[in-house]
Amino acid sequence: MAKRVGTDTVLCETLPQILSSAAIVGKKEGEGPLQEHFDLIHEDTTLCEKSWEKAESRLQSEALSRALDKAVLAPADVQVIFAGDLLNQCIGSAFGLRSSNIPFLGQYGACSTMAQTIAMASLFVEGGIARVAAAVTSSHFCSAERQFRFPLEYGGVRAPTSQWTVTGAGAAVVGHGGDESCPYVRAVTVGRIVDLGIKDANNMGAAMAPAACSTISAFLRDTGTQPQDYDLILTGDLGYTGSQLLIDLLKRENIDIHQNHADCGLLIFDREKQDVKAGGSGCGCAGSVFCSYVMHRLCKKELRNILFIATGALMSPTSSQQGESIPGIAHLLNICS
User: CB-wise, 14 or 244, nearer to its own copies?
Assistant: 14
Q: How far is the CB of 103 from its own copies (least distance, A)?
A: 4
Using CB under 8 A, which residues numbered 86 to 115 contact its own copies? Answer: 86-91, 93-95, 97-98, 100-110
Candidates 50, 153, 155, 259: give the one binding its own copies (CB under 8 A).
50
- Site membership for its own copies, residue 265 (CB under 8 A): no
> Minimum distance between the CB of residue 230 and its own copies, rounded to whole angstroms?
21
Contact with its own copies (CB under 8 A) among 28, 54, 66, 277: 54
| Contact residue for its own copies among 121, 142, 190, 257 (CB under 8 A) | 190
The answer to the question of residue 116 lying near its own copies (CB under 8 A) is yes
Q: Which of 166, 162, 113 is nearest to 144 (CA)?
A: 166
Burial grade of 26 (CB within 10 A; 0-12, 13-18, 19 or more): buried
Find the binding residues for its own copies in span 316-335 (CB under 8 A): 316-319, 322, 324, 327, 329, 331
Query: Is 190 in a helix, a strand, or coil?
Result: coil
Q: Does 127 bind its own copies (CB under 8 A)?
A: yes
Q: Which of 292, 277, 127 is nearest to 204 (CA)?
A: 277
**Would you count residue 79 as binding its own copies (CB under 8 A)?**
yes
One-letter amino acid for residue 162 of the chain:
S
Q: Is residue 185 a contact residue for its own copies (CB under 8 A)?
A: no
Cβ neighbours, 10 Å, residue 195: 16
Q: Which stretch binds its own copies (CB under 8 A): 79-87, 223-231, 246-254, 277-285?
A: 79-87
Tell which one of 268, 314, 333, 335 touches its own copies (CB under 8 A). 314
Residue 93 in contact with residue 149, Cβ under 8 Å? no
Between the two ends of the chain, the Cα-to-Cα distance in Å is 20
Q: Is 61 exposed, middle or buried, given 0-12, 13-18 or 19+ CB atoms closer than 10 A?
A: buried
Task: For residues 131 and 72, give the distance between their C-alpha atoms in angstroms, rounded to a whole number.
Answer: 15
Is position 254 an interface residue for its own copies (rule: CB under 8 A)?
no
Q: Is 51 in the site for its own copies (CB under 8 A)?
A: yes
- How many residues touch its own copies under the rule CB under 8 A: the total is 62
If the CB atoms of residues 192 and 258 are measured against its own copies, the closer one turns out to be 192
Report how far Cα 179 is from the mean position of its chain's Cα atoms: 24
Instruction: Identify which of 50, 152, 116 has the alpha carbon closest to the alpha carbon of residue 308.
Output: 116
- Give 221: exposed, middle or buried? Use CB within 10 Å, 0-12, 13-18, 19+: middle
Question: In whole angstroms, what is the distance from residue 258 CA to residue 98 CA?
Answer: 42
Sites of contact with its own copies (CB under 8 A): 1-4, 8, 10, 50-51, 53-54, 79-80, 84, 86-91, 93-95, 97-98, 100-110, 116, 120, 123-124, 126-131, 147, 190-193, 195, 314-319, 322, 324, 327, 329, 331
